[in-house]
A and B are shown apart, each in its own frame.
Chain A
Amino acid sequence: MRHGVRTIKSKFNIWAILSLIFIAIILIPNGLIAVNVFTESNENWQHIKEYLLKEYITNTVILISFTALFSMMIGVSLAWFVTMFEFPFRRFFKWALILPLAIPPYIGAYAYHGLINYTGIIQSKLRNDFDVTVNQDYFSIMNNQGAIFIFSIFLFPYVYTITKAFLQNQSSSIIENARLLGSSSFETFFRVILPISRAAIVGSVTLVVLEVLNDYGVANYFGIQTFSTAIFRTWYGMKDLDSALKLAGALMFLVIFILVLEKVSRGRRRFSFSTTKVRPIQPKKLKGVKAWLLAGYCFTVFGVAFLIPFTQLLYWAFLTFESVFSSEFIQLIYQSVFIASIASILIVIIALIIGNYTRLHKSLLTSLISRVTTLGYSIPGAAIAISIITIFVALDGYLADLYRTLQIEPVIILRTSLVMLVSAYIIRFLAIGYNAVDAGYEKMGNTFTEASRTLGFSTVKTFFKVDLPMMKPAIFGGFILVFIDVLKELPLTLFLQPFNFATLATQAYKYANDERVHEAALASILIIIVSGIFIFVSHKLLEKEPA
């Protein structure tokens, strides 16, 4: 008996307490949404359910299904070509094909709309030089198909990078065996490559789908009714928090369904890389037409998904530079960097604490904790935003009572402060920081920590003297990843930012929605360049890492 008490006490150390607090912060908003599903509904919700819900579901499902299909086709084919074949400019495309990830889909949507609408360069050229006026119906991308196009070309790199990494870690013997058995490259692809990379493909396509569900910017700009746009309209337009929460609940069901689907379709194979890499796959040298065909395909994708929108935005940015670049714009950059830094630092600290706890105490509780930590990333921004605002409104209510009873004057209102926005970022992006930090812990192992403890240092002191210095690369990597994501973030920032606050992302959104897409370019291009540089650098670092 006494022993039992002792074990519990030794487990509930400072790491455990902090970890549990952070986990609670993540779970409470989700719990709120779940509970709200079962509360009594108002008339508004009846109306939504009867007339609108079907459209939201249909649109959302169409968007995610087709985007999943197309991004998979593009991503997997490119990953296959780049790992299996040697063709002109292969080394360049290897990293260049990740670059579209630097363009957030909503910014890509602005660029493409501006490019092909009535006043855009394509139609102007046709009108002025060739005297052709086209049917506007064919030249609009502000519909479901357009959104699918935008999502597919800017999100396929998830599939591409993950599948490519998986294939590169496979031993060449798998492929060679298939070749020896007389399969052509094409057959090998369908009979060997596709089946073995199933888990990687399914996992990465799931990421794409979650990104589409998270989207607000594209759907709103194109006027498509999805869950995300509906949640915000119900809340802002109708001032009906309750129904908005119910919509978020429905959206969460969809997310859960997708996550279950992922689990099932992954198959029994785990999404793991074979670590004992004997001999990496040697790309097969292609000659002549075939080689140039592959190069041409890669170039087309690169052009459509990066070069064209990037050039267009760059051009607009120059065009509008003088009118847009002002002291307010500098203020904007400052605020973006400031909020992204704060959020990233907090996230990395939280990830370090939870990661340290879960690695030092392996148990059911800790594996549950690490699951919950990575949960936030699956939850669409709209759902997080709505539950966070509900919580903060309630919190302000309690605090107001408290101030009144204590009769203190400077009343702090959380709802209009950055605290709310930063909490939302933490919930959504903790998974990213945690994965980076956890990989760092994994790589470091526990023996250094154990050595330090046998030399007389507690876990806390060991953390600062040994763990932290050794984790520097992982910490830096996690920080950058989160920073970039916060910088690009739209839905949470848009709806939770205090009214005298804006970021590059929300400013770009505002310009674009005011039909001033050219002015949106400068903020957009800054986001793209910062993300692009990071992608380039991290690719170089990964490539350099010895196998």
Chain B
Amino acid sequence: MFVQIKNLQYQYKNSTEPVLKDFSLSIEQGEIITILGESGSGKSTILRLLSGLETPKSGSITINNHLIFSGHHVMPPEKRNVGMVFQDYALFPHMTVEKNIKYGLKKMNRREKQKRMEEMLELINMTNYKNRYPYELSGGQQQRVALARALAPAPSLLIFDEPFSNLDANLQIKIRDELRGILKKTGITSIFVTHDQADAQAIADRVVFIEKGVIKQVGKPEEVLGCASLVMWANS
């Protein structure tokens, strides 16, 4: 398995209850996983543990045969090679689109950086925008630049936290189809977090439905969604 998450436990310092008690999940190379769950179910927490922004209490994480976390070994986020697209994109406001995309390419020389940046712009269809600042872009464009920035260093795993929640409904549908296309084209392994079943349906190879930090069901979108919608409806 390309990504192996085993028995993760996590609790926020100022809370009394653990968010995750025993979370395990395996992901194949090139697979697109969606983690579906209600608000507060622990989706963002899982992503933060994978990226290294929080440290689990116990368990282990392996990506591409590299151990990035186990009880006595914590790899800092900058060494993990896990790309992340944030809900509010987090594009650096003091850098242009070009600078943002080149930001993570620190091991390359100038020419390589330029080439990679152009490739990425091509991929997201925004070649004419490289000199713009983030505030000069629309929400959908910012979203795509955030994707390009995360993809540029060729991470072994790419994770998305509610990437569509800031877009209006029409744009959301267009972008998520486009996004699946891009991800499949690059063959990257990725995890999506969402509470929207339509998103999960449209993007995922496999859906992981969680409730209160516990996996309730895993499977093809059409297998999981019926059950998930029933649970979410019952709880609402």
Query: Quick one: CB contact mask for A1-17 with B, threshold 8 Å, 1 for yes?
Result: 01101110010000000
Contact (A451, B76) CB under 8 Å given A3-B57, A470-B93: no
Selected interface stretch from B84-92, B202-210, B228-236: B84-92
* Closest chain A CB from B162 CB (angstroms): 13
Assess whether B88 is in contact with A447, with CB atoms less than 8 Å apart: yes
Please report whether the interface of chain B is mostly helix, strand, loop or mixed according to DSSP.
loop
Give the chain B neighbours of A2 by CB distance below 8 A.
71-72
CA distance A470 to B104 in the complex (A): 18
CA distance A451 to B150 in the complex (A): 9
Size bin of chain B's contact surface: 20 to 34
Contact (A452, B71) CB under 8 Å given A362-B13, A363-B13, A447-B88: no
Asked if B74 is at the interface of the complex by the 8 Å CB criterion, the answer is: yes
* Closest chain A CB from B95 CB (angstroms): 9
Asked if A55 is at the interface of the complex by the 8 Å CB criterion, the answer is: no
Asked if B82 is at the interface of the complex by the 8 Å CB criterion, the answer is: yes
Assess whether A10 is in contact with B78, with CB atoms less than 8 Å apart: no
Give the chain A neighbours of B51 by CB distance below 8 A.
450, 454
Selected interface stretch from A75-83, A210-218, A230-238, A455-463: A455-463
* Closest chain B CB from A487 CB (angstroms): 31
From the candidates A5, A7, A456, name the one contacting B104 in the complex (CB within 8 A).
A456
Contact (A450, B77) CB under 8 Å given A2-B71, A3-B71, A470-B94: yes
Give the chain B neighbours of A3 by CB distance below 8 A.
57-58, 71-72
Asked if A453 is at the interface of the complex by the 8 Å CB criterion, the answer is: yes
Give the chain B neighbours of A546 by CB distance below 8 A.
none
Asked if A165 is at the interface of the complex by the 8 Å CB criterion, the answer is: no
Asked if A288 is at the interface of the complex by the 8 Å CB criterion, the answer is: no
Asked if B149 is at the interface of the complex by the 8 Å CB criterion, the answer is: yes
Assess whether B153 is in contact with A455, with CB atoms less than 8 Å apart: yes
Asked if A319 is at the interface of the complex by the 8 Å CB criterion, the answer is: no
From the candidates B79, B92, B150, name the one contacting A448 in the complex (CB within 8 A).
B92
* Closest chain B CB from A471 CB (angstroms): 10
Assess whether A458 is in contact with B76, with CB atoms less than 8 Å apart: yes
Mark B residues whose CB is within 8 Å of A: 13-14, 51-53, 55, 57-58, 71-74, 76-84, 86, 88, 90, 92-94, 103-104, 106, 149-150, 153
10 A/B residue pairs, CB under 8 Å, sorted by A: A6-B71, A10-B74, A362-B13, A362-B14, A450-B84, A452-B103, A453-B53, A454-B53, A454-B82, A456-B106
Q: Known A-B contacts: A453-B53, A454-B150, A470-B92. Give 11 more (CB < 8 A).
A: A3-B71, A6-B71, A363-B13, A447-B88, A450-B77, A454-B51, A454-B53, A454-B82, A455-B104, A457-B106, A458-B78
